[in-house]
Chains A and B, each alone.
Chain A
Amino acid sequence: MSTPTHDHPQPTDPENPETASAPESGGPSSGGSAAGGPSSGASGGPASIGPADMDEPPKGGSFLGYLLRKLGGAAVSMILVVVLGFFAFRMLPGDPVLKIAKERPMSPAQIAELRSQYGLDKPVIVQFWDYLVGILTGDLGESYVYRKSVAALIGEYIGPTLLLTATAAVIAIALGLWLGQLSAWRRNSLFDKLASSTSLVFWSVPTFWLGLILLMIFGGTLQWLPTGGMVTPGLEPWSFAAVIDVIRHLILPVVSLVAVVYAQFLMVMRASLLEEMNEDYLTTARAKGLTEDEVRRRHAVPNALLPTVTVVFLHIGGLIAGAVTVEAVFSWPGLGKLTFEAIRGPDLPLLQGTFVVFSAIIIVMNLAADLVYRWLDPRIRRA
């Protein structure tokens, strides 16, 4: 189990950033154990808090120490990502300049000129130094293809990606958690079996395949929805028509993304609620005369949400990385598509840039998960 969205545009490609960068995180298959705590974070979460040692406050005390430890872990991960980002892509086979020159009537002088423009004529160690200095000063280099600063490009393309992933995340989390708690409460009922197995079927489906099928049915055949892009060219930005147009373009990518990921939220919620269901306090609540519904809503679910929230944070980072496939299928002009094109290039500075940014997002989300967990859980806060 590596990433929440388990497929990539080119599954055999070693350069896929999210494969390398995504930390180990609990997916649906390991949902039960993930409920114990964010033990699966890359930077090493607190030891799993099982039922046995539940009343015991974790060792190693103050919040500041905890924070520093987590920050240190994140910083180490980030440094590794930066170094890997440079060397992993240099190790790829193929010379970018020769690939660009392929089948084009280019003279040796032209090829040499391109090499020097891209800085590829310098020794690798010098290129690495330039890259490090660049990263520290916020300069991610200049894209070969777009001939623009990579930082500016990422800034331009992150908006559509956030729109897509945020919409999908909200829907997937809401849908997953809601179905998850219902499933747990009615464990082994027909509803539980249907909801759980449907979600798992979608979770096992390759994203690009599902996307193409949806595209074919709703775009090509029924013609209800547009077949690609984010907005029809020529519409006045922010006008009513343009907003409706963007929403129409958003539906299919969001549906594909949600269908593939909501299972993990469902499973985590189901598992944590199941754990709560044997607790004594529920018996007490029932004894007070509350209906089953009230017992679930007011007592069981709030407690079960606790471990779930951290897992949700872990998955948000992965969701952004998972947008690569969906954006490529639906021609969504976001970071994922930029990465996809950079691989096709190969546009080394752009690849490095998107790799570092995607990894940073995931690392930050992991850190947030660790911190939020600590903050949310009264047992740990008390310590």
Chain B
Amino acid sequence: MFAHHRLRRGWVKCLAGVAALALAGSLAAAPAHAETTEAADDSSVLRIATDGFIDSFNPFTSFYLLPTNTFRYMYENLVANDAKDGSITEGLATEWNTDSDGKVWTYKIRPDMKWSDGEPLTANDVAWTYTQMMEKEEMAVANGSLVENFDKVEATDDSTVVITLKEPQANNPGQEIPVVPEHVWSKVDKPGEFKNDKDTVGSGPFQLESYEANKSVTLKANPNFWRGKPKLDEIQYRYYTNSDAQVQAIRSGEVDFITGLTPEQFTAIKGADGVELNDGHGRRFNGISINSGMADAKGKEFGTGAEALGDKKVRQAIRAGIDVETLRKQVMQDYAQPATSFIPAVYSTWALPTDDPVVSGFDVDQAKKLLDEAGWKEGSDGIREKDGKKLELRFLTDADAPIEQNTAKFLEPWMKDIGIKLENESSDVDTVSERTTKGDYDMYFSGWSVNPDPDYQMSINTCGQRPDADGNGGTTQDGYCNKDYDKLYQQQHVELDGAKRAELVKQALAINYEDTPSVMLWYPNQLEAYRSDKFTNFTKQPSDGGAIANQVGYWGYASVESASAEDASGEGGGLGAGGWIGIGVAAIVVIVGGAFFLTRRKKSDDRE
């Protein structure tokens, strides 16, 4: 009885001590918190979460996404792609024209422009930059393909640049090539190896101030930007390896902008305090690429594609058997736009309209009819057969991509309905990439990001661009080859009349659609979120319902301004470091105290 009482008293003492200490810890927390709130940040720094690779900030050599996007803010191009719909607008040049066959392009440079260091920006800088890329291999690593067709570039005076092409082209050649200051770059010893990662000199709205690998990239507003100094003082990219961590970071206000969310993350963050979402129409397409018989540019065949897929009717039947609308709503949770061709709908000038007569929808009866016509008759088990061979296809997917796995789950029963046995072969992304290069697949889930001018994406659907089984010789989207399509591609390539060119592009896309080298699924939306309690006035591209990040141009962040003068909301609630330390101390006290108590009990047992 006596022992019991002592035991009780011990417990009470112990608990009281713990409580007192925990309280002391939490009290100590309050001032500590005030001290450690992010002193380095003021309201005019836009913090963006990223996990992008950076090799350097050299616009001649870097081809990774984050540096490329940064170049768009650092260096103005000869002509820009506007925010409204990506069409050509003034950049360094105020006006431009071409001779009657599109071979000689003349640009008038805006007078009295200055680099960020105050030096004058003239036509000579443009000619020097382009010539470097044309003459030196190491300067052509990133954008060499853009000047491949250039014969010579001259600055005829301080405000005129003349580009003479080898072959005529309708696509304005002054796009997407960052123009660098000659007075800085001509002094660099080995410009191909120059990192350019500190205090850069450029003509765009922001200049790189500093870069710490895997920590941060800091950009500073350029007061000499010809459209006027941006309202933001700085943009700072911060490294988050994990996209779930990025979501937590925007919830806690540690970053102000994130992009590339999955539909699940996007839904989860809805309604978070001070966070606004942007469900932007993207410039990317997803589709199911069909192996209709791989071959290189000379027609030498390779790969293991099913013979049945060489028949256009079978490919069309596959399209008719897929309920893309259901797929888009279920798999993408409606965060995607209906697709027609490989030119996304955001480029309304070029995209194949949904009401084009060639566009057909989900129609099981039509699918069955097409397969019947192709000679595939239903067997006893419901799977179609021809010459004793069953219609069995492989669908190659990335095991780590939920969207691809979910698509496969829908596709298998749908294909079975029309008499095709579809087997999902899911693998890691490197294996998928290797097998598609070798043509070792029947169907796979594919996707590309497309630039405002359709020429490049169209070119990788021509016969001459097909690589061999080792991936040498070119790039192809689906291994597609059709002489009629190639002819239309060539015609649009040199058609200077915009309206006529758009017509030719649409005709080519219609032929491609009819041939069905792939089944277009959707144009995924780019899901983004920003701290609307701190920043406002982001510009979207296209301005009606487009995305903020990964634009072709510098619109997204250049117009951003602080939401209000008073910026108190960022660090809401919470206990801060001190609070946590207090709780940590309390926890240790609980453990130590508890153990001490247990030890005591044992001891007293011994003694009594």
B-contacting residues of A (Cβ < 8 Å)?
A: 10, 12-13, 92-95, 98-114, 117, 144-147, 156-157, 182, 186, 191, 212, 215-216, 218-235, 241, 244-245, 247-248, 251, 291-293, 327-331, 333, 337-338, 340-341, 345-346
Interfacial chain B residues near A95, Cβ < 8 Å: 433-434, 437, 471
Contact B53 A345 (CB under 8 A): yes
Contact B216 A233 (CB under 8 A): yes
Interfacial chain B residues near A101, Cβ < 8 Å: 475
Interfacial chain A residues near B242, Cβ < 8 Å: 212, 228, 328-331
- A110's contact among B36, B51, B145, by CB below 8 Å, is which? B145
Contact B252 A223 (CB under 8 A): yes
Contact A103 B448 (CB under 8 A): yes
Contact B56 A228 (CB under 8 A): no
Contact A235 B428 (CB under 8 A): no
Stretch of B82-90, B352-360, B576-584 lying at the A interface: B576-584
- A219's contact among B212, B236, B248, B429, by CB below 8 Å, is which? B248
Nearest 7 interchain pairs by C-beta: A94-B430, A220-B248, A234-B40, A233-B216, A223-B574, A107-B145, A333-B214
Contact A147 B433 (CB under 8 A): no
CA distance A337 to B53 in the complex (A): 12
Contact A110 B140 (CB under 8 A): yes
**Can you list 21 A-B contacts (CB < 8 A)?**
A12-B428, A94-B430, A94-B431, A95-B471, A99-B430, A106-B475, A107-B145, A109-B140, A117-B141, A186-B598, A186-B602, A216-B244, A224-B576, A225-B577, A228-B245, A228-B249, A229-B239, A241-B39, A292-B606, A329-B245, A330-B245
Using CB atoms, name the residue of chain A closest to B234: A234
0/1 interface trace, chain B 53-65, chain A, CB 8 Å (1 if under): 1111000000110
Report B247 CB to chain A, min CB distance, Å: 7
0/1 interface trace, chain B 242-281, chain A, CB 8 Å (1 if under): 1011011101111000000000000000000000000000
Contact B606 A291 (CB under 8 A): yes
Interfacial chain A residues near B595, Cβ < 8 Å: 182
Tell whether A107 pairs with B144 under 8 Å between CB atoms, given A227-B249, A244-B36, A251-B580: yes
Answer whether residue B474 sits at the interface, using C-beta atoms and an 8 A cutoff.
yes
Tell whether A105 pairs with B456 under 8 Å between CB atoms, given A251-B580, A331-B245: yes
Contact B53 A341 (CB under 8 A): yes
Answer whether residue B573 sits at the interface, using C-beta atoms and an 8 A cutoff.
yes
Answer whether residue B189 sits at the interface, using C-beta atoms and an 8 A cutoff.
no
CA distance A337 to B249 in the complex (A): 18
CA distance A186 to B218 in the complex (A): 57
Interfacial chain B residues near A109, Cβ < 8 Å: 140, 144-145, 148
Contact B141 A110 (CB under 8 A): yes
Tell whether A93 pairs with B431 under 8 Å between CB atoms, given A191-B598, A229-B215, A330-B245: yes
Answer whether residue B240 sits at the interface, using C-beta atoms and an 8 A cutoff.
yes
Report B177 CB to chain A, min CB distance, Å: 12
Tell whether A98 pairs with B254 under 8 Å between CB atoms, given A147-B55, A241-B39, A293-B599: no
Answer whether residue B603 sits at the interface, using C-beta atoms and an 8 A cutoff.
yes
- B580's contact among A104, A215, A216, A218, by CB below 8 Å, is which? A218
CA distance A145 to B434 in the complex (A): 20
Using CB atoms, name the residue of chain B closest to A336: B241
Interfacial chain A residues near B413, Cβ < 8 Å: none
Contact B428 A13 (CB under 8 A): yes
Tell whether A113 pairs with B574 under 8 Å between CB atoms, given A105-B451, A215-B245: no
Most buried by B among A156, A191, A222, A234: A234
Within 8 A of A (CB), among B153-198: 193, 195
Report A283 CB to chain B, min CB distance, Å: 15
Interfacial chain B residues near A341, Cβ < 8 Å: 53, 214, 241
Contact B575 A93 (CB under 8 A): no
Interfacial chain B residues near A13, Cβ < 8 Å: 428
CA distance A340 to B51 in the complex (A): 12
Give the tally of cross-chain contacts (CB within 8 A). 209
Contact B574 A222 (CB under 8 A): yes
Interfacial chain A residues near B428, Cβ < 8 Å: 10, 12-13, 93
Contact A220 B252 (CB under 8 A): yes
Using CB atoms, name the residue of chain A closest to B213: A146
Answer whether residue B137 sits at the interface, using C-beta atoms and an 8 A cutoff.
yes
Answer whether residue B399 sits at the interface, using C-beta atoms and an 8 A cutoff.
yes
Most buried by B among A100, A223, A291, A293: A223
Interfacial chain A residues near B137, Cβ < 8 Å: 113
Interfacial chain A residues near B141, Cβ < 8 Å: 110, 113-114, 117
CA distance A95 to B429 in the complex (A): 11
Contact B602 A224 (CB under 8 A): no
Answer whether residue B238 sits at the interface, using C-beta atoms and an 8 A cutoff.
yes
Tell whether A230 pairs with B574 under 8 Å between CB atoms, given A106-B475, A219-B252: no
0/1 interface trace, chain B 210-247, chain A, CB 8 Å (1 if under): 00111110100000000000000000101111101101
CA distance A103 to B449 in the complex (A): 7
Within 8 A of A (CB), among B125-139: 137-138
Using CB atoms, name the residue of chain B closest to A332: B241
Interfacial chain B residues near A147, Cβ < 8 Å: 55-56, 193, 195
Contact B140 A233 (CB under 8 A): no
Interfacial chain A residues near B602, Cβ < 8 Å: 186, 292-293
Using CB atoms, name the residue of chain A closest to B607: A291
- B474's contact among A92, A108, A228, by CB below 8 Å, is which? A108
- A346's contact among B430, B437, B474, B580, by CB below 8 Å, is which? B430
- A94's contact among B215, B254, B433, B598, by CB below 8 Å, is which? B433
Tell whether A227 pairs with B451 under 8 Å between CB atoms, given A146-B55, A221-B251: no
Using CB atoms, name the residue of chain B closest to A346: B430
- B577's contact among A108, A113, A216, A248, by CB below 8 Å, is which? A248
- B253's contact among A156, A186, A223, by CB below 8 Å, is which? A223
Answer whether residue B387 sits at the interface, using C-beta atoms and an 8 A cutoff.
no
Contact B239 A215 (CB under 8 A): no
Answer whether residue B120 sits at the interface, using C-beta atoms and an 8 A cutoff.
no
Interfacial chain A residues near B214, Cβ < 8 Å: 157, 331, 333, 337-338, 341
Tell whether A248 pairs with B36 under 8 Å between CB atoms, given A229-B215, A292-B606: yes
- A224's contact among B240, B456, B575, by CB below 8 Å, is which? B575
CA distance A293 to B213 in the complex (A): 52
CA distance A99 to B434 in the complex (A): 9
16 extra interchain contacts, Cβ-Cβ under 8 A, other than A224-B576, A333-B239, A341-B53?
A92-B430, A95-B434, A95-B471, A102-B433, A104-B63, A106-B475, A108-B472, A109-B145, A215-B245, A216-B244, A220-B251, A223-B573, A228-B240, A234-B236, A247-B577, A331-B242
Contact A107 B216 (CB under 8 A): no
Interfacial chain A residues near B431, Cβ < 8 Å: 93-94
Contact A244 B449 (CB under 8 A): no
CA distance A227 to B381 in the complex (A): 55
Interfacial chain B residues near A228, Cβ < 8 Å: 238-242, 245, 249, 254
Answer whether residue B473 sits at the interface, using C-beta atoms and an 8 A cutoff.
yes
Interfacial chain A residues near B456, Cβ < 8 Å: 105
